[in-house]
Every structure is written in structure tokens, then in C-alpha cells.
Structure 1
Amino acid sequence: MGREFWAVEPFYRKYMMGLFIVVSVSKIVAAGAEAKLKSFCGRGMGGVARKGMLVYEIYRALSYVVSPLLQLHLRWRKIRGLEHPTRLPERLGRPSLTRPPGPLLWFHAVSLGEGMAAIPVIKECVKWRPDLNILLTTATIEVIINQLPTGVLHQFSPIDTPAAMDAFLDYWNPNAIMLLECELWPNLIMVSSRKGIQLALLNARVSMKSFKLWSAPVLFPLISLLLSKFSLIIPLSSMQGIHFQLLQAPPFIINFAGDLKYAVEYDASKEELRSIDDLKVQLGHRKVWMASSIHRGEEEVMLGVHKVLKQVYPDLVTIIVPRYPQHGKDIAQKLQKEGQLVALRSQHQKIVPGRNIYVVDTLGELRHLYRLTPVAVIGGSFFPGLAGHNISEAAAAGCAVLTGYHVGHFSHMIREMQRLNPLSVLQVTGKLELEEAMLKFFSDAKVLEARQTASKQAFHALSNGIIANAWNVLYFHVLKQALLKGR
């Protein structure tokens, strides 16, 4: 390749330079791996920390190598409509907003659930320290942007490459960073620590699959190193706290406040509330139940139950809310081809007599939709490999709550609610048990009412004081020290 190639193709130059670094590091590691491992075994925590740094340097080199490919991937996602059409540079750490003067707190949440869990803490921060600037980064903008208090800044999450993270941190220069749940991004954490930025992990959790992976010899030193950089970890349960201690998080940084997902709030606009009230009128006195957050394949279970219930209650309405809107459109299309009358939410179709299935193919309305139904079946839990979804929203709305057994880290939420009241959550193994439960609920009003009351009471008991506790711990262990620096 001549000089002309390198002059006009900086993309490939960066790629090949990164590849050279990784190959060089890999050769060094391979050459001395056996000697280093023997040495580390006798060095205790110091050895683990050094090995963690070695693994991190390899990760950093790899993230440098793949950064051009990640940029191509982001552009491909943009073409497919999966990235914001005009804000793609934010994913590379390039700002689209002006950084206001004064202290700034960065809340970093990738998923919609993590972002919604962060908002109550952000509101508490605005309440007690209105002088602080707050930045929230997420991978999605739907729903989130409308829930943020006035003045809170939003950017899309930067990818965890050296260039993107350096650019982001250099520009925003936060005093403290609050990561949500399990967002342990090595470049973010290590670069922030090097710059003296305080780090907190809120609603911290690690799935059993990740825990086994992180405990393996290769990743354990890196995870231990990353956790040592935090000033505060707030686990969402005592079991999660044990997991983080086993991963060698310093015990003195682990403090409990409760699961922030109990405190998630959705502020509905007048238009949204009118829409829900209109649906209530359409439903009238018909029997109603909802299958929410379902994943592909679970619609067969729910539609099978619907068919059985409809034989007993011909005016029944089943509300299906898939996890992803496109899945809802696919379900409606399939049912329509079979000759069934389906109302689709995005097309504002009415629930008229003869239409027994209402498919919600929109985002951000679930908490309000729970007000329409006395029974909520939470999906993402009926097949192996799934990990459940938040049941607290349905409980807060006073629904009788049912779920499958494949619930992942949400098992702690179910156990807590069942401990307070055994009737608060009913777990079923599959279609037959779900049919039996639904028939029992619809045939016995007292049984249904007892389930509804139990779920609502358990939710209120568990949600009480969580945000105040989280704010107090966060301020004492992180913000107080971060703001004293006057950065």
C-alpha cells in the first residue's frame, strides 16, 4: 500500500495501527502468561490489581481497533432508523449542547428502564440542589425526554471507545458520574477515575450469567479493578450486595436504599390521560386482562389463553403489549390474516363490539395502560433464556399480578412482595396454569379483589422512602466530596 492510500484513508490507518497494538500486546501476554499467572497467585490483591490493569490495557487496545467498525455499525443503525437521524455524533462523544458553567452531575443509563429509574433521583437532586447542572445520557430518547425536569440536559450515550470517552469527558467535565444498574464500561470508569471524577453505581445488579462470567479467571481481575474505582455502590437487593462483595467491591462503599424501580414515576400529559379515559369508556363493563412486555413466542401462550377465556366470556378483551412495537404490528397482521378483528393502538382503532384483542404497538404508555385492567400478566418470563420485567408498575396500579418463572434478577422483587403478602404475585409455569388462574379470577370477584389489594399494599410498603434514602446516601458518599473539589 503506497503513501496515497494512507493519506486518503485515515479510517484504515487507525484500524491497522490499533490492530498492530493488539497483536503486540497479545504476543507479550502470551509469551509471559504462564510466568505472570504464577507470580500473580502469590501476590494477593496486588497481583489481582496488576492483572486487572493488564486485562484493561488489552480491552482498551481492542476498543481502539474496533472503533471504526463501531462507527460503521452506528451509521448502519441510523440507516435502519435505529439511531436518531441528526444526533449520531453524540454517540461518538461529540456534544450537541453547550455545557453550562458550574458543577455538573452525569447520570448514565442505557436502557429505557434504567433511564426511568434514574429520573426520581434526578428530581430529588433538582429539589435539594437546584444550583447543580444535571446531564442524563441514554441510548433511547422516547418517553425519557418528556419525563425530565426543566433544565436537565440530555445526550445520547457515548460508545465505550477511548476517543469517544475522552472527547465526552473532556467537554462535559462532570464532578460525579452516576451509573445505573450494570453499566460497567471499562474506558468510562478508568478514564473518569484517572481524572479524579467521583463514581457511583445506583440500583446495582449483576445477573447470574454475568456473575459467572465476571468471576472467571480472565475477567475477574478487570471487574475487581473497575469496582475499586467507585465511591458508592447501591445494590438493589442484599443478594446483589453479596455478589458485588464476592467480586471484590470494597465493603465500605456498599450501601442499601431499596430498588429504585419501585419509585419510577410517569408524568402523563392531558392528551395521554384523555386517551386512557377514552379507552376506559370503550371497554365499558367487559372482562379485561392484559399481557404486557411479552417477547416473541409468548404471544402464542397469551392468545391460547385468550381463546379459552373467550369461550366462557364472549365479550372478553385481551390487551397485548409487546416489548417492542414492531412485534405488536406483526401480531396484529397475523391475526388479521386469520380473520380476527384486532384493534391496533398506533392506528387509533376503537375497541368496538366484536373486537376482542387490542394490540399496543407504542412505547411509554404501559404504566397508564395498567389502569385499564384488573389483571396483568408480565411477559418476558415464560420461556428459558428470558429474564422477566418490572412488576411494580402493575402492582402500583392495583392489578392482580401474574408472571412466569424465568424472571432473572426480578426474582428479588417477587420474593419481597410475596414476603409482605403471599397473594401479591402469582407465578405460573405456563399456559395451563395461567388459564386456571384467569378462570378463577374472573369467576370469583372476591379472589380477584384480594389479589389486587395485596399487590397494591406490597408495592406501597416497598416504595416508601426509597428516593429519600438513595439521595441521602448518594449525597453523603459521593456528591459532598465531589462538590468540595470545586471542579
Structure 2
Amino acid sequence: MKFFLYNFILILLLPLIISRLIIRSLKDRDYIKNISNRFGIYENETESNPVWFHAVSLGEVISSETLIKKILIDNKVVLSVSTPTGYRQAEKIFGNSLQIVYAPWDIYFFVNNFLKKFNPKALIIFETEIWPSMIKASSAKKIPIFLTNARLSQESNSKYSNIKFFVKEVVELFTLVLAQTNKHYDRFVSLGIDKDKIKIVGSIKFDKDNKIEKKESSVRDPNLIIATSTHSGEEEIISKVFKKLAFIDKSLKFILVPRHPERADSIGTIFKNEGTDCMILEDIPSSFDSNKILILKGIGFLDKLYKSASLAFVGGSMLKDYGGHNVIEASANGCPFIVGPYMKNFEDVISLFLEEEACIQIENSDELYDSCKKLIFDEELRQNMVDNAYKVVENNRGSMEKQYNYLKEYLN
């Protein structure tokens, strides 16, 4: 009855869900690309008994890369995503080595259509996606279900606990939960998952292929400051900080990379209305003028930018709506970084960096300005942060192999 009501409510909401997708497509046409996938309709030629791997968006696709490539050695994979940025990044990373599709909306017969089409031998969900119909329909077909690199923020745990009478019936269907830390282990147990089904394995995000770039071995622009993965409401703060920094040092250059590229034009309007000189580009230029802000419209730039910049602010962390983004890519590329106060999605990771004085966490725009100013003029502090970040990354590698070793018992 609970699952029936859940699906009935989603069906009633379907016109709103479709309308929201169409509105989003006004900024990014790819939101309605392959829209039939959302209803569980796929034209693809299918491989027999692939592993279904679900990575919801851009960050999850990037973070799961090493695990997916490991699984591909002995298995066919169909990778489902929910956003255009995730889809495009998956195409960049994997090309034709696997099938990439949009995940069906979480209505039972849409999911069932997917299962009939692909007949997967396992479902692997990355990080925090707990979709009742996806899990229930897969379990009904005796498909093993894994939650990998699993994390559950305190906020999410509180919300799920309010409907535990429903959630417990979903999460107890997991075959195995590979949790990042003891804290997440405890939260999953509190939702009703059997302790024997949960293994603590660390975070796969430390296992990205790139090694940390030492400052002396990389070509850095000492005047380049970047703001990455920014969200609505943060650009106004960054614009003011950049303007104040440019006033004290005329040689500084700034690049901003919004989390969602389709927002680049509206961000440019914000900056121009505030009298900030900016330019929107779709690629990183070989050079550009000092005291100018570049807004990059696209994805796939961060690795190169973190190798080039002397300082980064990692967005999604100034406003509580977002919960932060992955800081490991900055640290692995030897770029000292600053984050805001809201890092609930990376609470354990950011704690490791803070304990080793490997980053700076600020509370507001004034502290962001003060910290940027301090780092600009203190090369020794920047290098100490880089060295400390190197230790954090190196000391926490190895999760991917742990997770794969648990999975392969079921997959092979």
C-alpha cells in the first residue's frame, strides 16, 4: 500500500515534473534530449545482462570513474544519469565503452520498462540516491542492489527518519552498503539497515587517477584566482570579493566556473549590473588581461584550472541550500583552496583537511576576502596548505579497490 501511494502521488505530479524539465530545457536543450528515457523507453541496442550503474549528476559521474572502469574490465555496463551535465561528462569519460542513458523517473512501471529492456544482473547506486521504485522493482526481480561510496548527511538522515515507516522497507532491500565512515554507518543503521550489510570503506573520491601536482613541478600563474562550482546567490558575493581584490592588486586575474554552465549568461548580467568587467567564454584562453573576470561556459575545465591557479574558492558552500562540492580535485592538483561554512555533503572529507590545516573554511564574504588577501601575499602559507593536502590525499587512498573487491564477489 505504501509503495502504491508513493507511485500514485508521483503520477499525479508527473505534469509538474514534465513542465519543470521543459522549463529547464529553455536554458539547456539537453534536458529534453532522449526524453523518452525518463519514461523507461530506450531505443539502444542492449548488451546482455549488464551491470546497471546509476550516478545522478556531474559530480557523481566524475567521482565514480575509477570504479566504473574497474567494473568494465569483466562486465558490460549501462550507466544511467539524471542531468545533462552528467550525461555529457559520461560521454567524455567513457565514450563508447559503455551505454549511457537517462534514468527513468521513479515510477514503478517506468523502472520496470528499464529492467525489461536491459535485464541487468546488478544495480549499483553511487552515494546517496535512495529511489524506492528503482530499488523495489530491482529487488522483485532478484537483482542484487549495492549502495557504493555511501554517505548520509545529518539533514538527510533526519528527513528519512521522519518517514522511517516507509524508508525502512526500502533500504532493507540493499544487498550491501559500502559506507564512507563510521558516522555514515551509524546513520544507515538508524534507518533500519542490517549491520551485517554495511561495510566501512572510506571515500572513493581520494582515488582519482591524477597524482597531486607539486607546486615546483607545475606551471602556475601566481596572479590567477578561480571560483569553481558556484551556485545562484554565490556569484554576487564572489563579484564583490573579486572587485576588492583587484583594487589592492592590479595584476590579479579571475576565472569563475559555475556548477551549471547554462547559468553563465545570467551570471554575466549580474556582474555587468554591478559594474564588474567580465567576459563569457566556452574554453580556457591562453592569456587574458589582468583585472578581468572570465566566466567559463562548459564542463571539464577544473583539472586544468586547479593545476594553473594559485588559489581557489570551491563553491556550493556559501549557502546552506547546496552543501558543498568535491575539494579533493583541488588538493590533488596542488591548489590551495577555501570553502564556505556549508559542507554537509562532504562533512567527513572537509574535517580531514581542516584537522591537517590543509584548507581554510570561512563563514561569510568578509572572511572570504580576508582569507584570499592573506593567501595572495603569503606564499609560504599557500605551500604549507598544498603540502598538508598532499598528506591527506595520500593517507586516504585505497577505497576504490576495497569497494570493487566487495562488489566482484557478486558481479563475477
**Superposed pair shares fold, TM > 0.5:** yes
Say which structure is richer in helix: 1
Rg larger for: 1
- Aligned 8 A contact 2:254 2:291 in 1: no
**Could you tell me which of 382, 385, 390 is aligned with 1:448?**
382
Following the alignment from structure 1 to structure 2, what is the Cα–Cα distance between the partners of residues 205 and 457? Answer: 23
**Could you tell me which of 106, 110, 121 is aligned with 1:175?**
121
Which residue identity is paired with 2:398? G
What residue in structure 2 maps to residue 437 of structure 1? 371
Which residue identity is paired with 2:359? V
The offset of 1:249, in angstroms, is 0.4
**Could you tell me which of 24, 30, 35 is aligned with 1:88?**
35
Following the alignment from structure 2 to structure 1, what is the Cα–Cα distance between the partners of residues 221 and 33? Answer: 46
Give the secondary-structure state (helix, strand or coil) at the position aligned to 1:255: strand
Q: Does 1:61 align with 2:31?
A: no
Q: Does 1:137 align with 2:137?
A: no
Which residue identity is paired with 1:213? K
Q: Does 1:353 align with 2:286?
A: no
What residue in structure 2 maps to residue 261 of structure 1? 205
What residue in structure 2 maps to residue 479 of structure 1? 411
**Could you tell me which of 318, 338, 346 is aligned with 1:410?**
346
Give the secondary-structure state (helix, strand or coil) at the position aligned to 2:282: helix
- Aligned 8 A contact 1:374 1:452 in 2: no
Q: 1:247 and 1:308, CA in 2 relative to 1: closer, same or farther beyond 3 A?
A: same
- Aligned 8 A contact 1:396 1:460 in 2: no
- Aligned 8 A contact 2:250 2:291 in 1: no
- Note the residue ranges of structure 1 that are not aligned, 5 or more in a row: 1-53, 267-279, 481-487
- CA deviations on 1:332-388 (whole Å, 9 max, x unpaired) are 234345554323222776743354212222122222211111211111112333311
What residue in structure 1 maps to residue 267 of structure 2? 331
Question: Once the two structures are aligned, what percentage of the paired residues are identical?
Answer: 24
The offset of 1:71, in angstroms, is 4.9
Q: 1:136 and 1:263, CA in 2 relative to 1: closer, same or farther beyond 3 A?
A: same
The offset of 1:57, in angstroms, is 2.7
Following the alignment from structure 1 to structure 2, what is the Cα–Cα distance between the partners of residues 82 and 240? Answer: 37
The offset of 1:149, in angstroms, is 6.1
Q: 1:428 and 1:136, CA in 2 relative to 1: closer, same or farther beyond 3 A?
A: same
The offset of 1:69, in angstroms, is 5.5
Q: Which stretch of structure 1 is more off in the superposition, 366-375 or 168-177? A: 366-375
Q: Does 1:424 align with 2:358?
A: yes
What residue in structure 1 maps to residue 59 of structure 2? 113
- Aligned 8 A contact 1:104 1:174 in 2: yes
Give the secondary-structure state (helix, strand or coil) at the position aligned to 1:359: strand
- Aligned 8 A contact 2:24 2:31 in 1: no
Which residue identity is paired with 1:63? L
Q: Map 1:224-239 onto structure 2 (within 5 A).
A: 224-239=168-183
Give the secondary-structure state (helix, strand or coil) at the position aligned to 1:436: helix
What residue in structure 1 maps to residue 144 of structure 2? 198
Following the alignment from structure 2 to structure 1, what is the Cα–Cα distance between the partners of residues 251 and 107? Answer: 55
- CA deviations on 1:395-428 (whole Å, 9 max, x unpaired) are 1111112111111121111112334x2x212111
The offset of 1:165, in angstroms, is 1.0
- Aligned 8 A contact 2:226 2:255 in 1: yes
What residue in structure 1 maps to residue 334 of structure 2? 398
The offset of 1:200, in angstroms, is 0.4
Q: 1:436 and 1:74, CA in 2 relative to 1: closer, same or farther beyond 3 A?
A: closer
- Note the residue ranges of structure 2 that are not aligned, 5 or more in a row: 211-217
Q: 1:340 and 1:350, CA in 2 relative to 1: closer, same or farther beyond 3 A?
A: farther
**Could you tell me which of 393, 397, 400 is aligned with 1:459?**
393
Which residue identity is paired with 2:46? R
The offset of 1:167, in angstroms, is 0.9
What residue in structure 1 maps to residue 165 of structure 2? 221
Q: Map 1:156-171 onto structure 2 (within 5 A).
A: 156-171=102-117
Q: Does 1:469 align with 2:402?
A: yes
Give the secondary-structure state (helix, strand or coil) at the position aligned to 1:142: helix
Q: How many residues align?
A: 402
- CA deviations on 1:281-329 (whole Å, 9 max, x unpaired) are 9xx8552211111222222322222223223211111221222223332
What residue in structure 1 maps to residue 320 of structure 2? 384
The offset of 1:459, in angstroms, is 1.6
Q: 1:335 and 1:69, CA in 2 relative to 1: closer, same or farther beyond 3 A?
A: closer
**Could you tell me which of 221, 227, 230 is aligned with 1:291?**
227
- Aligned 8 A contact 1:123 1:149 in 2: no
Q: Map 1:241-256 onto structure 2 (within 5 A).
A: 241-256=185-200
The offset of 1:66, in angstroms, is 4.0
Following the alignment from structure 1 to structure 2, what is the Cα–Cα distance between the partners of residues 302 and 72? Answer: 32
What residue in structure 2 maps to residue 367 of structure 1? 303
- Aligned 8 A contact 2:279 2:295 in 1: yes
Which residue identity is paired with 2:320? P
Q: Does 1:341 align with 2:274?
A: no
